[in-house]
């Protein structure tokens, strides 16, 4: 296959190149694209060196599959052109996620959505959404989801290379370019990811309300998220409280999670997963399963995943594998 990666020099794009190589994706030809600033940079993917170029009118000619991770504006501009040139686009940005003609896919949860690609575009969900739906789906199957309240603890790499640089610079107390965060992030916790709307919710929280409903096929699911940026380099953690429609003994909830695809369920409380320990892994780690002491049919969970891998690159490459295999 001829694969193009738009945003190849970014935090997600570089991880995509690693994941494509690790999983021995069938690559005959690789085109790497980034901003004009990076044109001429050489990147490697599984021993193959490729020179990065800026996108141009004919850059998607002959491309079968285009993996996009260069932000929503670039996706809106370039995805229709890539599709017109004959490629299927797997897009990591928020540009197409809520378009009814674009499936929003987590392969462990709703792979059937890939059967129909009216626009030739598949959207990869938000990084926190992915780990949340992978953990929620088995419990929904077992007991029917009624309501979800969650709090995220999201690493700085969720804001890309500039987020990582801002944390490292603040820790080193060295002045530098602008930070993507509205306050200091070192030694801090910021309950703001994206702009606030008129009702006081952030853009990230709105994504976390809308995207799980679409992926799980539950348009009326009640979800109340609070999204928090924390000074961790890689790996998002989420505390989830969920209420079910039907009674479910804790042991059955534990079994549903232990058997779920893509989940590593940790039932020993002392072995709770943390971002630092699971960074570099592709699975979603779930621990601290507790029945709520006061609310019937409710559980609490602690869910951790590598936002650059399962939260972005690995999920996109898993989608690409399914497309490549027809
Ligand atoms: N980070 C995460 O955990 C995560 C998770 C899920 C989804 N996403 C989404 O993935 C996308 C990329 O995120 P990231 O974290 O990798 O960001 P990043 O580290 O800032 O990388 C952005 C990439 O886009 C490229 N780019 C910027 N302007 C461009 C232009 N005008 N034309 C072509 N390429 C351009 C950059 O190239 P230069 O290096 O040349 O500037 C870079 O390769 C975003 O849409 C983000 O929402 C991120």
Instruction: Calculate mean pLDDT across residues 175-183.
Output: 87
What is the position in ligand 1's atom list of the atom closest to the CA of 12? 16
Q: Which helix (H) or strand (E) holds 314?
A: helix 314-324
Confidence of residue 178 (pLDDT cuts 50, 70, 90): confident
Q: Whose CA is nearest to atom 30 of ligand 1?
A: 35
Task: Give, in order, the Cα–Cα distances in Å from 150 to each of 105, 205, 290.
Answer: 21, 10, 14
Cβ contacts of 134 within 8 Å, gap of 6 or more: 106, 108, 109, 260, 262, 263, 284, 305, 310
Q: What is the pLDDT of residue 176?
A: 73
Comparing CA positions, the residue from 94, 85, 137, 81 lying closest to residue 112 is 137
Q: Whose CA is nearest to atom 1 of ligand 1?
A: 158
Pairing of strands 284-291, 263-265: parallel
What is the position in ligand 1's atom list of the atom closest to the CA of 54? 33
- pLDDT tens, position by position, 241-265: 999 999 999 999 999 999 999 999 9
- 55 burial type by CB count under 10 A (0-12 exposed, 13-18 middle, 19+ buried): buried
Confidence of residue 74 (pLDDT cuts 50, 70, 90): very high
| pTM of the full structure | 0.97
- pLDDT tens, position by position, 76-119: 999 999 999 999 999 999 999 999 999 999 999 999 999 999 99
What is the position in ligand 1's atom list of the atom closest to the CA of 126? 6
Cβ contacts of 207 within 8 Å, gap of 6 or more: 94, 97, 126, 129, 194
Q: Are 287 and 302 in contact (CB under 8 A)?
A: yes
Q: Are 14 and 43 in contact (CB under 8 A)?
A: yes
Instruction: Calculate mean pLDDT across residues 64-75.
Output: 98
Cβ contacts of 324 within 8 Å, gap of 6 or more: 1, 25, 26, 64, 65
**Above pLDDT 90, what percent of the chain?**
98
CA 169 to the chain's CA centroid: 25
Residues in the chain: 326
Annotated active-site positions, please? 127, 236
Comparing CA positions, the residue from 178, 194, 142, 158 lying closest to residue 275 is 158
Q: What is the pLDDT of residue 175?
A: 75
Q: Whose CA is nearest to atom 17 of ligand 1?
A: 160
CB atoms inside a 10 Å sphere around CB 263: 22
CA of 311 to the centre of ligand 1 (A): 14
Cβ contacts of 319 within 8 Å, gap of 6 or more: 90, 105, 107, 114, 122, 124
- Pocket probe for ligand 1: among 12, 95, 232, 312, the residue whose CB has the most ligand atoms within 8 Å is 12
Q: What is the pLDDT of residue 261?
A: 97
Residues with CB under 6 A from ligand 1: 7-13, 34-35, 37-38, 55, 69-72, 74, 92-93, 127, 157-158, 160-162, 307-308, 311-312
Q: Rounded to the nearest 5 degrees, what angle is found at the Cα of 235, between the Cα atoms of 265 and 132?
A: 50
The number of CA neighbours under 13 Å toward the Cβ of 122 is 29
Which of the two residues, 224 and 177, has the higher pLDDT score? Answer: 224
């Amino acid at each position: 296959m001829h694969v193009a990666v738009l945003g190849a020099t970014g935090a997600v794009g570089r991880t995509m190149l690693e994941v494509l190589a690790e999983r021995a994706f069938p690559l005959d030809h690789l085109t790497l694209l980034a901003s004009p600033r990076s044109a001429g940079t050489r990147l490697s993917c599984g021993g193959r060196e490729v020179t990065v170029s800026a996108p141009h009118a004919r850059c998607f000619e002959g491309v079968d599959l285009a993996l996009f991770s260069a932000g929503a504006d670039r996706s809106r501009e370039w995805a229709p052109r890539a599709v017109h040139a004959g490629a299927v686009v797997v897009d990591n940005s928020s540009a197409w996620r809520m378009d009814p003609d674009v499936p929003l896919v987590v392969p462990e949860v709703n792979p059937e959505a890939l059967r129909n690609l009216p626009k030739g575009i598949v959207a990869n969900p938000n990084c926190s959404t992915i780990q949340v739906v992978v953990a929620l789906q088995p419990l929904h199957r077992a007991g029917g989801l009624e309501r979800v309240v969650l709090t995220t603890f999201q690493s700085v790499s969720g804001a890309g290379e500039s987020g990582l640089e801002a944390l490292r610079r603040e820790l080193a107390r060295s002045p530098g370019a602008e930070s993507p965060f509205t306050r200091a992030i070192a030694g801090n916790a910021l309950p703001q990811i994206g702009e606030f709307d008129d009702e006081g919710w952030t853009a990230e929280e709105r994504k976390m309300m809308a995207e799980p409903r679409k992926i799980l096929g539950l348009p009326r699911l009640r979800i109340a998220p609070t999204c928090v940026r924390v000074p961790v380099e890689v790996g998002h953690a989420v505390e989830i409280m969920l209420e079910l429609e039907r009674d479910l003994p804790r042991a059955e909830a534990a079994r549903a999670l232990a058997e779920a695809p893509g989940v590593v369920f940790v039932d020993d409380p002392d072995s709770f997963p943390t971002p630092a320990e699971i960074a570099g892994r592709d699975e979603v780690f779930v621990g601290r399963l507790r029945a709520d002491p006061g609310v019937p049919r409710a559980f609490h969970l602690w869910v951790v995943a590598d936002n650059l891998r399962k939260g972005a690159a690995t999920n996109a490459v898993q989608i690409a594998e399914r497309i490549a295999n027809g």
